[in-house]
Structure 1
């Protein structure tokens, strides 16, 4: 998976985007890093971003969609790192 995060800026705020969830238009507000992560996950899975968000919506339970998307991205990327092995961020080497 290739995850290209936007440059870190302290003034980045969540951005709202229109998406289609299960055929219905809605909007989702996420930080740029989470939009990038969800795009990378959708690309890896060879599905559209709308399809991925629809899947997240179907599994979110009582959690809000934006929160569910953040948690999904964090868990997915955590599982991805675990499949690769531990990454030591201090030196970039695998343990």
Structure 2
């Protein structure tokens, strides 16, 4: 896997950065496009549902679940 790629996102009015491997970003981008929404909106949904899990971990788990369903 390639190194981490850092992106800035705005969550609930607060800027934050998120570092993920490019492969995870690609799955998240496809999921957002399939949903007809933005990547930021998808990450906001993941953030809202993540509980105590770190955001980067929650995004990776989401991407793995998408891939397991054949959606990523």
2:7 alignment partner, SS class: strand
- In structure 2, the partner of 1:50 is 40
TM-score, L = length of structure 1 = 0.70
d(CA) in 1 for partners of 2:26, 2:55: 17
**Mapping for residues 7-46 of structure 1, pairs under 5 Å:** 12-46=2-36
| Larger helix fraction of residues | 2
1:16-62: per-residue Cα shift (whole Å, max 9, x none)? 11011122110000000001110000000001000000000000011
Instruction: Tell me which stretches of 4 or more aligned residues in structure 1 moved more than 2 Å.
Output: none
The reply on whether 1:70 has 2:60 as its aligned counterpart is: yes
TM-score, L = length of structure 2 = 0.90
Which structure has the greater CA radius of gyration?
1
1:20 alignment partner, SS class: strand
Where does structure 2 lack aligned partners over 5 or more consecutive residues? Answer: none
Aligned residues: CA RMSD: 1.5
2:6 alignment partner, SS class: strand
